[in-house]
Amino acid sequence: MTKSSIMHGKGQYINGLWIQGDGTILESINPSYGTLLWQGTIATEQEVTAACDAARQALLSWSSLDFEQRAHYTQNFAQQIDKNRDYLAHLIALETGKPLWEAHTEVSAVIGKINLSIQAYHERTWTKITKTTEANACLRFKPQGVVVVLGAFNFPAHLSNGHIVPALLAGNTILYKPSEQAPAVAEFIMQCWHESKIPPGVINCLQGDASCGRALLSQDIQGVFFTGSYATGLRIHQQFSDKPEVILALEMGGNNPLVIDEISDLNAAVYHTLLSSLLTAGQRCTCARRVIIPDSHQGDDFMNHFIKTCSSIKIGPFDQKPEPFMGPVISHEQAIKHLHSQKKLIESGGSHLLSMALLAENTGLLSPGIIDMTHFENPPDEEIFAPLVQIYRYNHFDEAINLANQTRYGLVAGLLSNNEQHYHQFYQQVRAGLINWNKPTTGAASSLPFGGVGLSGNHRPSAYFAADYCAYPVASMEQPLLTMPEQTLPGIGSLGTP
Ligand code: NAD
Ligand code: SIN
């Protein structure tokens, strides 16, 4: 696999087999060079139905296995990934453009997810049997059934895996539709599941775009575990408005604030802001989109240092030497859209501190942009999934908190400050699912829940809490022998044997 070789898709993974169908062509383009990386097909309606039948057929035997047996398959999968660590990191870098150092961290997260999910399963979906004089009061959990997993492009291996592994452990069977912008990574992940010897039908993979996603959602399914944009999450929510019985876990975007307050180490503040706003070329749901800075000399020093650092970071293809800090955005088309969003912000009252620019024709390589939005009236509350930072200046800390809360999203909020009182106030008053202090907004911990409030999620956080939406609790009152109670209720009369 090199940057110039073209990979040919194996087809759809259905019931333990790769099926080469006659769907329309799906292509994946290397965003660093604009070259064709992978060519395959979009799943047909018949393939979608066949996959759904296979998942339904496999459900009873898979969910009836002991937990340890299911866990064993996920551990086999982790071994396959570990064995192919370098290959997978290279493929992620080729397909998404992220630097190799970062692609390696994604592979490690995929492997780390297995043991964490096993731990989370036991901690969050436990069995409890309480003996009472009348019966045993039992709490156990059951899988939802056949569930659809829809993946986003920015972590094509890790984020879908964050739904898939807990869902399998809980006993669900899966219909997986990866992002149409990263089919090659998904195909390799499926090959690793295949090598894990997981039984046929337990996990099926259908390649395709939104229309394939919609076709999957119209099948007889019990859950949808989605990572992607708010716009898509909303559409899915609407599609299920008359099906409250289907559980939706919607992990969506953010318009995340990072507040700079009292700092003594300017370098640390700039470094943490850089990691917050520009990691993965700004294509993390956790990226700080709005940096809120004091309107003071110290704020000016921070601003100047931040602009200088952003102008000098290395941006380029993952195989560039020395390694870049960031690569391209996912496609040339997205890069053009992001430049258009920047233009709109400037035309409506923002002022350029650093202009985001396309670095090479026909690629997704963008340099970072910084826009001062302080005097912008009614700024749009939108997630721009790009290396574009919006700056707001403030005079009082209360005002900073107000600005931080000027969003309907609520994924992450960060504070850089040596003032502990201010952190307590920030924590108390800011509405978000993740609130960080003197740490970047990016780089979520898999050992914690991950999900937002407002437009960022539907109160079903993923990561460590994914176990919660993968299973439902069942309450049972049980006693092995049917007997008459010592006392019967009034008004029943005689129950003596006839
Ligand atoms: P997207 O919403 O465009 O697509 C996500 C997935 O949904 C893709 O597989 C896509 O094909 C599918 N899809 C699109 N329309 C559909 C429909 N109508 N029915 C069924 N499926 C449909 O998202 P993206 O561009 O791939 O990813 C970027 C977005 O994801 C950003 O908004 C980012 O913030 C968000 N994200 C959120 C998290 C989180 O955990 N909260 C993590 C990463 C990314
Ligand atoms: C993401 O899921 O987009 C980001 C998670 C992280 O920053 O670790």
CA distance 397 to 383: 24
pLDDT at 3 over 90: no
Does ligand 1 have an atom closer than 6 angstroms to the CB of 217? yes
User: Which atom, in ligand 1's list, is nearest to the CA of 452?
Assistant: 41
CB 51 within 8 A of CB 32: no
Q: Are residues 95 and 37 in the same domain?
A: yes
Q: Are residues 391 and 349 in the same domain?
A: yes
Q: Are residues 45 and 159 in the same domain?
A: yes
pLDDT at 4 over 90: no
pLDDT band (50, 70, 90) for residue 126: very high
- pLDDT at position 358 is 98
Q: Are residues 288 and 390 in the same domain?
A: yes
pLDDT band (50, 70, 90) for residue 201: very high
Q: What is the DSSP string of 42-70?
A: PPPHHHHHHHHHHHHHHHHHHHHS-HHHH
Is 441 one of the annotated binding-site residues? no
- pLDDT at position 69 is 98
Looking at all shown ligands, the one closest to residue 252's CA atom is 1
SS3 of residue 95 by DSSP: helix
- Asked if residue 496 belongs to a domain, the reply is no
pLDDT at 431 over 90: yes
Q: Are residues 144 and 23 in the same domain?
A: yes
* Contacts of 339 by beta carbon, 8 Å cutoff, 6+ apart: 356, 357, 358, 366
Does ligand 1 have an atom closer than 6 angstroms to the CB of 282? no
Selecting among 212, 285, 287, 310, the annotated active-site residue is 285
pLDDT band (50, 70, 90) for residue 497: low
- Asked if residue 482 belongs to a domain, the reply is no
pLDDT at 483 over 70: yes
- Asked if residue 469 belongs to a domain, the reply is yes
Q: Are residues 223 and 320 in the same domain?
A: no
- Asked if residue 315 belongs to a domain, the reply is yes
Query: What's the CATH code of the domain at 307?
Result: 3.40.309.10
- Asked if residue 484 belongs to a domain, the reply is no
Looking at all shown ligands, the one closest to residue 452's CA atom is 1
Q: Which residues line ligand 2 (CB under 6 A)?
A: 154-155, 159, 284-286, 442-444
Q: Are residues 266 and 213 in the same domain?
A: no
Q: Are residues 197 and 219 in the same domain?
A: yes
User: Which atom, in ligand 1's list, is nearest to the CA of 231?
Assistant: 2
CA distance 193 to 197: 7
pLDDT at 174 over 90: yes
Mutate to test the pocket of ligand 2, among 116, 256, 285 (most ligand atoms within 8 A of CB): 285
- Asked if residue 489 belongs to a domain, the reply is no
Dihedral sign for Cα atoms in the order 368, 369, 374, 380: negative
Q: Are residues 135 and 92 in the same domain?
A: yes
pLDDT at 359 over 80: yes
pLDDT at 498 over 70: no
Mean pLDDT of the chain: 97
Average of per-residue pLDDT across 394-413:
98
Does ligand 1 have an atom closer than 6 angstroms to the CB of 248? no
CA distance 100 to 81: 16
CA distance 211 to 105: 31
CA of 232 to the centre of ligand 1 (A): 6
Q: Are residues 407 and 336 in the same domain?
A: yes
CA of 451 to the centre of ligand 1 (A): 14
Selecting among 251, 287, 310, 383, the annotated active-site residue is 251
Q: pLDDT tens digit string along 103-119? A: 999 999 999 999 999 99
pLDDT band (50, 70, 90) for residue 451: very high
Which CB contacts under 8 angstroms, 24+ apart, belong to 443-446? 443/275, 443/279, 443/286, 444/286, 446/109, 446/112, 446/113, 446/116, 446/162
Count CB-CB contacts under 10 A for residue 407.
24
Q: Whose CA is nearest to atom 4 of ligand 2?
A: 284
The count of structural domains within the chain is 2
pTM: 0.97
Higher pLDDT, 484 or 326: 326
- pLDDT at position 112 is 98
* 285 a catalytic residue: yes
Cis preceding-peptide flag for 322 (omega within 30 of 0): yes
- Asked if residue 483 belongs to a domain, the reply is no
* 251 a catalytic residue: yes
Is 407 one of the annotated binding-site residues? no
Q: Which residue has the tokens 């978000």?
A: 432
Q: pLDDT tens digit string along 293-349? A: 999 999 999 999 999 999 999 999 999 999 999 999 999 999 999 999 999 999 999
Q: Whose CA is nearest to atom 5 of ligand 1?
A: 228
Q: Are residues 211 and 291 in the same domain?
A: no
User: Residue 15's domain spans which residues?
Assistant: 7-252+457-477
Q: What is the DSSP string of 385-438?
A: -SSEEEEEEESSHHHHHHHHT--SEESEEEEE-S-HHHHHHHHHH---SEEEES
Q: Are residues 323 and 238 in the same domain?
A: no
pLDDT at 21 over 90: no
User: Which atom, in ligand 2's list, is nearest to the CA of 443?
Assistant: 8
- pLDDT at position 170 is 98
Does ligand 1 have an atom closer than 6 angstroms to the CB of 433? no
Is 446 one of the annotated binding-site residues? no
User: Which atom, in ligand 2's list, is nearest to the CA of 441?
Assistant: 7
CA distance 14 to 55: 9
Average of per-residue pLDDT across 359-365:
98
